[in-house]
Amino acid sequence: MENETKVNETEVSKEEVKEEVKAEEKAVETEAKTEETKTEETKPAEGKDTKKTAAIVGGAVGGVVVVGIILLIVIIIAVVLLVATAKPKANLNKYVTVEYTGYEGRGTAEVVFDWDQFEADSKGKYRIRKKYQDELSNEYGVSGTGLARVYLRDAIKVSADPGTELSSGDEVKIVWDVDEDLTKYMRVKFKYKDFEDEANGFEVIGSFDPFDYIDVSFTGTAPNGYVSVSNNYMDDMAYNISFSTAPQNGLSNGDTVTVTASLNMSEDAFADRYGTLPSTLTKEYTVEGLSAYVQSASELSTELIDKINAQAKDAVTAKLKYSDSWYKTSIEPTNVAYVGNYFLTPKDGTNNQGNILYMVYKVTYSAVGKKNSYEVDRYVVFKYTNIMDLPEEGVFINVMDYQMSYDSEWDGNESLYYYGYTTTDQIFDKFIVKSIEQYNYEKNITQ
């Protein structure tokens, strides 16, 4: 019985437990339904706000994206246009090197432009503009892709100043010479700039003055003098040096003549043979010691003019007198006065040489005629030619070497001859006017 009772108690206990569990589950289920009901009541209001907010945000984001895309397209187009229209650029200076060769004092600078590297870097991007292709093709005789290459090699030049006779330490300027029409013919823009470089690396060797081996002399009559160079051939080395002159003729005192020495072999061969080189290859000499034709009356000294005047007076006194024993008439000079001169020199381009001097004198005559006695004035001319300025004597005239000119007028009423021209204008017309085609003239007349 006890066992039975225990079983029943046990069974009751299980049943109670089951009931309690069911009750708890039901309570939980009821609570869950209650919460679900509350949630459903609140959803409609929250859903409306959420959709409205999403629409606003979505519209704003969409607008920003569209604007961004448009800006991006504009930027891309601008970049493409900039790249398409921009002129290619290159720094020409980076392709230049300066090479120094030769001997100290005789060195040479050579500017080298690396065309191979330049063309490799350009990769064919430098082209002649289409509208100029025919023009340049006709000029250079090249067409197609080679035209730009040929044109650029002609349009871009660079050189050294000075480029020769250099010593170490000398400043050498590297100078660009670029065709000013380059940017017209090609869509390109180059950067370049003149710069200075210091000469260096020349071989040191002995030197001598080649002009110690020669004598320079000037002979002839200016302005047709000429220069002579005599090599003294003092040693074997002198036989391998030649000399030339410029100019060689057509010289006047004070002119400059340049004498140039040249080696009869290469510099290297000369240096190997004699262990020395000329210190210079040119030297200037001033022309002097030539006889010269006087170019102006101002070069005539007062002393020389006095000598000419004295001779003119003697000539007039001796020659320009007349007497007639039948009519008892006579005329003779009583005074000879120097009134001035005309001086003529040949014009350039004519075959005339020398000069002409016309000395003019006023002669006063004492006349005794058949009816009257009186004084009369006439003008007489003395002509001298080829007046020289001699190296030793200076300006020289042989006063006995002249031509005297005068007119001769017969006066029948008085049975007299008058010797000379009535005015200086007559002299000018007769002697000067006829010469002005070939000669320049000075007028130094006081009357």
The runs of H, that is alpha helices, within 158-266 are: 182-185
Q: Are residues 397 and 432 in the same domain?
A: yes
> Is the pLDDT assigned to residue 20 strictly greater than 90?
no
Residues 235 and 258 in one domain: yes
Shared-domain flag, residues 408 and 317: yes
Is residue 251 packed enough to be buried (19+ CB in 10 Å), middle (13-18) or exposed (0-12)? buried
Q: Could you tell me if residue 228 is inside a domain?
A: yes
C-alpha 253/C-alpha 136 separation (Å) is 52
Nearest-angstrom CA–CA distance, 308 and 343: 15
Q: Are residues 242 and 331 in the same domain?
A: no
In a domain, 73, yes or no: no
Instruction: Kindly report, residue by residue over 354-407, the tens digit of the pLDDT.
Output: 899 999 999 999 999 988 899 999 999 999 999 999 988 899 999 999 999 999
Residues 156 and 273 in one domain: no
Q: Where is the domain boundary, 231, 261, 289?
A: 289
Coil, helix or strand at residue 163: coil
- Give the model's pLDDT for residue 142: 93
Within-domain flag for 355: yes
User: Does pLDDT of 6 surpass 60?
Assistant: no
Residues 317 and 420 in one domain: yes
Whether 323 and 359 share a structural domain:
yes
Give the pLDDT of residue 269: 94
42 within domain boundaries: no
Phi–psi pair at 243, nearest 5 degrees: -130, 145
User: 280 and 316: one domain?
Assistant: no
Q: Which residue, of 233, 262, 289, is where some domain finishes?
A: 289
Confidence of residue 63 (pLDDT cuts 50, 70, 90): low
On whether residue 434 sits in a domain, the answer given is: yes
Q: Which pTM value belongs to this model?
A: 0.51
pLDDT above 90 (res 130) = yes
Is 18 among the domain residues?
A: no
Question: Does position 35 have pLDDT exceeding 70, yes or no?
Answer: no
If asked whether residues 178 and 299 sit together in one domain, one would say: no
pLDDT tens-place string over residues 175-222: 999 999 999 999 888 999 999 999 999 999 888 999 999 999 999 998
- Quote the domain boundaries for residue 314: 294-445
**Which of 289, 320, 336 marks a domain boundary?**
289
pLDDT value of residue 434? 92
Same domain, 354 and 404: yes
Q: How many domains does the chain have?
A: 3
- Residues 234 and 328 grouped into a single domain: no
- Segment 67-91 mean pLDDT: 57
Does 50 score more than 60 pLDDT? no
Q: In sequence order, what are the residues at sequence separation of 6 or more whose Cβ sits closer than 8 angstroms to the Cβ of residue 251?
A: 218, 220, 222, 223, 224, 225, 226, 227, 257, 287, 290
For residue 44, pLDDT beyond 60: no
pLDDT tens digit string along 279-334?
Answer: 889 999 999 999 999 999 999 999 999 999 999 999 999 999 988 888 899 999 99
